[in-house]
Amino acid sequence: MLHLFLQFTETCLFRNAFFEWDCFLCLKRVQYPRTLVKVTPFRIFSLKLAFFSAVLAYLAVDLLVWHGPVWGALHSRRANALSQDAVAKVYGELVSCEALERLEQEQNWLRGRTETPKEEQAAMLMELVRRTLLSIRTRYNDKNLPDYTEEARAELSRLESRAVSAQEFDSWLASQGYTRQSFEQRLAMAMKSAALLERAAEQHCAVSDADVDKHYELLRGQLSIPAHRQVKQIFLATLEKNPQAVENHARNLLTQAQKGEDFARLARNNSEDDATAANGGDLGEVYDTPDRTLPELPLFGEQALPAGKLALVQSRWGWHILLPGEITPARVPGAGECRESLKTAIRSAQRELAVQAYYEAAIREAFSNEHLQIYGRRND
């Protein structure tokens, strides 16, 4: 609108050669006492320059300081956005209600529910705003980020390999509103966004040995390794069976094992615990924790079974022929043993905080510069 106004003004007032010539002739005839007004091309240029300078000065004051009529016409944001069914506007880009619904469907599917709780709808909208901000910043920093075209193409091929046919994969892409090319570009953009976040968080994720030692002292009481021992078993279930027959079979297998029969072979041929039977009944290391499997088995404490001695024990599920190993007492690991795991945990926590701070700073900057407007749904 502004461009058309300026073009019309220039055409009507200054680019009309006949008008300029008439002005020149009329002014040429006007005489003042001892003064003759002479119009030259330089004076015409000066008039044009003065006029356009005045227009530009008014626009600068209207748009940047006064927020006058022109600013109001150009910034009728909410009416325009709502007319296009937008829920937000980020740096001039409208965020559609359809995009918000797709995000909610995605999150509901991941969490195994059918609809988004009302108390989470605002959080979903802010998540979509964060993703839009990250996408815009990724495009702005595109030349400073690696090119992920090949990686995106490989990922597209990997996803396609999961489909029954190429036609089915193309149909799925079409149902999501993508072509192969646009989906590949989206994958590349997502990889660039992840790289941008990593670069922003990297400077906050430096972990020194002093940091590790400090966290070790703070968490030392929680780093205790509980007592543990290796256990092998032959399991016979009593569910929907004759309990006495199952007990007799278990005692028979115990007798065979005590006479020197190979315990692993007996477990593979007789144990009903499919998870351990193939491994010769090996349960691996069993730790003395409240949530361990079958806590009623006497593996720890005063009633713990002696190491290397076969025992027949009944649980709520059936009979267990156990062959326990030596008990390793509980202990607190040294700082050197858990240094790498602590460093990884600290770095992961720092990265999460850095990413959160990055998003908060981006949203705060957009708000302060009036580049972020959030409207919500029409019925919100």
Which of 2-26 are b and which e, b meaning 16 or more Cβ less than 10 Å from the residue's Cβ? eeeeeeeeeeeebeeeeebeeeeee
pLDDT of residue 8: 44
* DSSP structural state of residue 326: P
Find the length of the chain: 380
| Closest to 150 measured CA to CA, from 113, 191, 116, 93 | 191
Which residue ranges make up each domain of the chain?
Answer: 2-74, 143-199, 225-324
Compute the distance between CA of residue 138 and CA of residue 135 in angstroms, rounded to an integer. Answer: 5
pLDDT of residue 106: 79
| Closest to 316 measured CA to CA, from 289, 293, 291, 285 | 293
pLDDT of residue 24: 43
| Closest to 37 measured CA to CA, from 24, 50, 49, 46 | 24
CATH code for the part of the protein at 225-324: 3.10.50.40
Residue 225 has which token pair?
């390794």
Residue ranges of the chain with pLDDT lower than 70? 1-39, 73-84, 378-380
Helix ranges (DSSP H) in 61-179: 69-74, 77-83, 97-110, 121-140, 149-162, 166-175
pLDDT of residue 2: 43
Each residue of 31-42: pLDDT tens digit?
444 444 556 777
pLDDT of residue 271: 93
Based on its alpha-carbon atoms, the radius of gyration of the chain, rounded to whole angstroms, reads 38
pLDDT of residue 205: 80
